[in-house]
Structure 1
Amino acid sequence: MMNDLMRLTGKKALVTGSNQGIGKAIALALAGQGANVLIHCRDETVSGQQAVAEVEALGVRSGLIVEDLAGSEAAERVYDQARQLFGAIDILVLNASVQIRRPWTAVTDADFNEQTTVNWQRTLELLQRFVPDMQQSGWGRILTIGSVQQLKPHPQMMAYAASKAAVSNLVRNLAAQVGKDGITVNNLAPGVILTNRNTEALTDETYREQVRSRIPVGFFGETQDCAALALLLCSEAGRYITGQDIYVDGGMSL
């Protein structure tokens, strides 16, 4: 029974920032349950095509959308390409984000604008475009990818942390409005997951152990830790979960 609720056969998904890391793991998890999954990346790179091939190897359809979300009208272009490739999207996972490490006193206008534009403004704009199709079909799953920094902001990522907190507020707001349409909206907030973004920062052994010491379970997470929860929230098994901010962080947010 539970396996049936997790199945996504015939559903059409778009995962932004899915050529690597958490986004790719989620894309593959959805595809593994039968969803057709569009891959999105910022630049035309080999990794994007590789992710498409890995999705298709699971016996479902895929395709690649290349679009820098920092650009004006980016949300409209992503939506148009998704419609051309798949038609209406059932599952929207908003994972792509920009993270700039800098002391708060040195944050520039450009730093602030890029992070708030990609992480927050484009989230709203993509929702404005994709949600009406879900409302028309009477079913939809929306998952934003936040950060443990919503509660415990890193001192060198003030703008990034604030943008993620803003999205979690947006999620609660939207969930209350579209629940009656068969759409759930949730935020998955990872802690320290061993992605390319984090592994570079963790190469310093002293810093690595300082970070690890703040995680109650005592180890760093893997991308599949996020993908498992994403699959629940994006399937019929998660139909009664909406407006939630759920941490996958080994207890770091405690």
Structure 2
Amino acid sequence: MTSPFDLTGRRALVTGSSRGIGLAIARTLLSSGAHVVIHGRAAAVVAATASALAEEFGAEAVSTAVFDVTDETSVVAGVAAIEAAGAIDILVNNAGVQHREPMLEVSLADWDRVIRTDLTSAFLVGRTVARAMVVRGAGAIVNICSVQTDLARPTIGAYTAAKGGLRNLTKAMTAEWAPHGVRVNGVAPGYIRTELTQALLDDPTFNAWVLGRTPAGRWGEPEDIGGAVVWLASDASRFVTGQVVFVDGGMTAVV
């Protein structure tokens, strides 16, 4: 029997997949048989990432897309270019940014940049891709949330607001698109070791806080997120929609 986790024959777009968690998600989807569109804003970085993945998984398994997820015109054109080569069966809204500054000091421009990148982009890309999914009557969207979907820490107010909004955007998408066969779920990573969080990991005080706050006693690795995404993108979760799965080593389960 074919495994319900098998994604052979399906095409997946992972935004922000040239590095970090997005790249790990792309690799796991490739390992599960999907064709993956590597996305980013820096064409050279996207091309280099795709080339490395093509050497491992085959040139036919990887393609690229370069567009700004915060600009509607760019999103529409970028998605159309991808769909010209084949339908997008799976969308992973992963692109995001972080900004650390007390809310009493953060500028409106920085607030808007975080909200636009971490929340509005999921709406823009999600809606654009979902239009064709609704017509076909099938599709899976996975929004990458965060433990800040449920929790808050000082100095990351915009990020917390965006990720909390992304949870309810996931529910709103489900309410409108589930009747048309489109499933929408979220994956909420805990503290994951990436190049973007390396400075936090190198801070002895912050590192000790993460290790003490996480029942599993460690930082997550980017690869820890991929399995949950594959599950939510595959037929193994065919009756799961509107949910956010926390992959956080137990952080949100304890006080």
TM-score for the superposition, normalised by structure 2: 0.93
Measure, in 2, the Cα distance between the counterparts of 1:107 and 1:222: 30
Residue 97 of structure 2 corresponds to 98
State the alpha-carbon separation in 2 of the partners of residues 74 and 156 from structure 1: 31
1:76: how far off?
A: 1.6
Q: C-alpha displacement at 1:72, in angstroms?
A: 5.4
Tell me if structure 2 keeps the 8 A contact 1:28–1:54: no
**2:155 alignment partner in structure 1:** 156
Asked if 2 retains the 8 angstrom alpha-carbon contact of 1:27 and 1:55, the reply is no
- Paired residue type of 2:40: C
Tell me how far 1:71 sits from its aligned partner.
Answer: 4.1
What per-residue deviation string (whole Å, max 9, x for no partner) do you get for residues 138-187 of structure 1?
21010000110111112111001100110110111111222232221001
CA distance in 2, matches of 1:72, 1:230: 25
State the shift of 1:188 in Å: 0.4
Q: Map 1:83-232 to 2 at 5 A.
A: 83-84=83-84, 86-232=85-231
- Cα distance, 1:77 vs structure 2: 2.9
Aligned to 2:51: 53
- Give the equivalent residue in structure 1 for 2:65: 65
Partner of 1:74: 74
Distance 2:132 2:141 in 1: 12
In 2: Cα distance, 1:169 partner to 1:121 partner: 12
Tell me the equivalent position of 1:32.
Answer: 31
CA contact (8 A) 2:144 2:186 kept: yes
The 8 Å contact of residues 37 and 55 in structure 1, kept in 2 or not, is answered as no
Shift >6 Å, 4+ stretches: none
- Say which is worse superposed, 36-45 or 238-247, in terms of deviation: 36-45
Residues 195-219 of structure 1: per-residue CA shift (max 9 Å, x gap): 1111122211122112211111111
Q: Do the aligned partners of 1:43 and 1:68 also contact (CA within 8 Å) in 2? A: no
Tell me the secondary structure at the aligned position of residue 105 of structure 1: coil
Unaligned runs of 5+ in 2: none
Aligned length: 251
Tell me the alpha carbon deviations over residues 48-83 of structure 1, each in whole angstroms, 9 at most, x when there is no partner. Answer: 223212432313432222223344523223212322
Identity in percent: 35
Check whether the contact 1:141–1:233 (CA below 8 A) recurs between aligned residues.
yes
Letter in 1 for 2:112: N
1: CA distance, partners of 2:74 / 2:249: 34
1:253 aligns with 2:252: yes
**Structure 1 residues 105 and 148: CA distance shift in structure 2, 3 A:** same
Q: Give the distance between the partners of 1:95 and 1:247, measured in 2 at CA.
A: 15
Question: Aligned Cα RMSD in Å?
Answer: 1.6
Q: Distance in 1 between matches of 2:8 and 2:52?
A: 17
TM-score, with length taken from structure 1: 0.93
Distance 2:215 2:70 in 1: 36
Secondary structure of residue in 2 paired with 1:195: coil
Alpha-carbon separation, structure 2, partners of 1:8 and 1:54: 21
